[in-house]
Structure 1
Amino acid sequence: MSLKSIIVVSFLLVLAACNVGEIADPKEYPITLSETEKTHPLAKYYYSVEEPSNEQYETLVYREPEDGLPFDEAGKMLEEGYLTMENGYTRFKDGSGYVAVNIQFPEATGEMLDWWFDWHGYDSMRYKIWYPGLHAFSLYENYEEPETFSISKYVLENPEGKTTHTIEAMMKGEDLQDLQITFVNPEQFGLDNSKLGTNQWAICANVKSGNLTIVQMVHFVRKTENGVEMRSRFWVGNDVHWIVRKIGISEDKLYGLAHHCLTEYTQLASFLPQVYSTYALNN
């Protein structure tokens, strides 16, 4: 790969600018609802935004590389207790990035999140209410909408996984990104499926920009006294050339990913039990 090619690819890496102006102007926020979407039953959640506290944002700080969890040790997340880094981000010595975020979901269950990650991809309105203003589009393409939704069940039965085409911005003022997110069997990430499905869940996905895998992410979900907690983990740039990692993965980009994750899942936690009750239990 030539140096020029490396520099070009680096702009695609992790949260970088993929300008899709025909969808929306990436500099004009918020990404608004269409006139039709404003009458959608879910529109009320777009206008009711739950934001993390300043104290929660303040936990998203840079940590030392040894505080991070290497991808090949992801199975440690299924053990009891907590790891050294539950919130924050770092860069490993090879230039790859690591992001950790813990979000509480009161009154929610793992089954609700398993349902949501499948259900949300059949109507972009469902994606827009997840992060009002920054989520523009997300659809599972070339899949027939099922009668019941479970991303875990799907990936266990279909080794190729399930891919959604997603357009979003990480932070206000940044360009929109055009991404492909493929949910996969946890075994592909070295996780033990026998430990999943009762008290804890692992929702695993590869994130691509074009043909380049830029992020591997797992949302580890486990029961708490009043609901569940989602311990999200992102490994950034494992599958790209080391020079691309050095150029394309900055602390600012990693912070942006952590900030986005905390914000969107705080919003999801605010409405998930109600939406699940309305759309999953009543259908």
Structure 2
Amino acid sequence: MDLSEVTALLDPKPLQLEMGYERLPSGGLHVAVRTDMHGCTGEMLEWWVRWRCDTQKYIWWHPIDHTYSSWQGNLSDDTHVGSEHVVTEYFSGQPADDLVIQFRDPSEFFDEDAYSRARESGAVSGVVVGRLGVTHNPPRLPDGRVLGGRLLHIARDTEWGMALRSHFFIGHDLETLGQTAEQIAAQATVEFAQGLLQHAYDEFTFLSRFLPSLYVAENRDVSPPRAPW
């Protein structure tokens, strides 16, 4: 799957690649991860990103790999779109990476009609998508858009919780900066893909252990909690 084909993520039917990685013609990598998050919902996922965890809470999320978290950009309480998550983390045994995750509107990735139908039908219950830059000062377009990669987290609610599809495109845009496919592949290594795949599965498994309780506690004034019996 190339970035131009991600509309397929709006359909719950199994994809050719649900868990694994592949080398793209550009030299970059596509990494796919599926995580079953019992007791969670897409609404909880979107709220978690809007909550904008500091370093302490980021370490709660993944106490092995996460080390630093701060935020910049548009920090509206109503949306995560426009905010930038500045982090330092390990990818399951790889050296620590500095990253900037720039959260974007789904319309940058999906046809608006197809996206609306998926939300209305329940095929999609939560979406967190963005641009990914390696280093805390990644290359950008004149309008501020980060270059280097993409990430898409697509949630679907089920009777047992949330099925989360996470897809990453590493080394995207670099050809526009004059890099050849060979140069991009040298940076987007198989070892990196393996580490990212394991990391993403682990971090969302960790999150599923406490997200439901945290969401209920932090939203009890607008949505009073009920006893679980």
| Structure 1 residues 52-67: aligned runs within 5 Å | none
| Structure 1 residues 19-34: aligned runs within 5 Å | none
Q: Which amino acid aligns with 1:272?
A: L
Match of 1:166 in 2: 87
Q: Deviations over 1:51-89 (max 9, x none)?
A: xxxxxxxxxxxxxxxxxx111010011123111111111
Q: Deviations over 1:95-132 (max 9, x none)?
A: 1101111101111111100100111x242222111110
| Structure 1 residues 259-274: aligned runs within 5 Å | 259-274=198-213
| Structure 1 residues 225-240: aligned runs within 5 Å | 225-240=159-174
Match of 1:223 in 2: 157
- SS in structure 1 at match of 2:70: strand
The 1:245/1:112 distance shift into structure 2, 3 A limit, reads same
Paired residue for 1:249, among 188, 204, 214?
A: 188
Match of 2:31 in 1: 99
Residue 139, structure 1, aligned to residue 70, structure 2: yes
The 1:90/1:276 distance shift into structure 2, 3 A limit, reads same
Q: Which amino acid aligns with 2:128?
A: I
Match of 2:131 in 1: 206
Paired residue for 2:110, among 177, 190, 200?
A: 190
Structure 1 length normalisation: TM-score? 0.67
Match of 1:109 in 2: 41
Root-mean-square deviation over aligned CA pairs: 1.9
The 1:122/1:87 distance shift into structure 2, 3 A limit, reads closer
The answer to whether the 8 A contact 1:109-1:223 is kept is: yes
Dislocated runs of 4+, deviation >6 Å: none
Match of 2:55 in 1: 124
The answer to whether the 8 A contact 2:73-2:83 is kept is: no
- Identity %, equivalent residues: 27
- SS in structure 1 at match of 2:91: coil
Q: 1: CA distance between counterparts of 2:204 and 2:50?
A: 16
The answer to whether the 8 A contact 2:32-2:197 is kept is: yes
Q: Which amino acid aligns with 1:194?
A: S
Q: Deviations over 1:17-63 (max 9, x none)?
A: xxxxxxxxxxxxxxxxxxxxxxxxxxxxxxxxxxxxxxxxxxxxxxx
The 1:142/1:219 distance shift into structure 2, 3 A limit, reads closer
Structure 2 length normalisation: TM-score? 0.81
The answer to whether the 8 A contact 2:46-2:127 is kept is: no
- SS in structure 2 at match of 1:245: helix
Q: 1: CA distance between counterparts of 2:149 and 2:198?
A: 16
Choose between structure 1 and 2: higher strand proportion. 2
Structure 2 stretches of 5 or more lacking a match?
140-146, 223-229
| Structure 1 residues 74-93: aligned runs within 5 Å | 74-93=6-25
Cα displacement (A) at 1:176:
2.0
Bigger drift between 122-131 and 177-186 goes to: 122-131
Cα displacement (A) at 1:223:
1.4
Q: Which amino acid aligns with 1:208?
A: G
The answer to whether the 8 A contact 1:196-1:202 is kept is: no
Match of 1:45 in 2: none
Structure 1 stretches of 5 or more lacking a match?
1-68, 156-160
Q: Deviations over 1:175-223 (max 9, x none)?
A: 3222111000011113434135452122101111232322201001011
Cα displacement (A) at 1:252:
1.2
Q: 2: CA distance between counterparts of 1:124 and 1:104?
A: 25
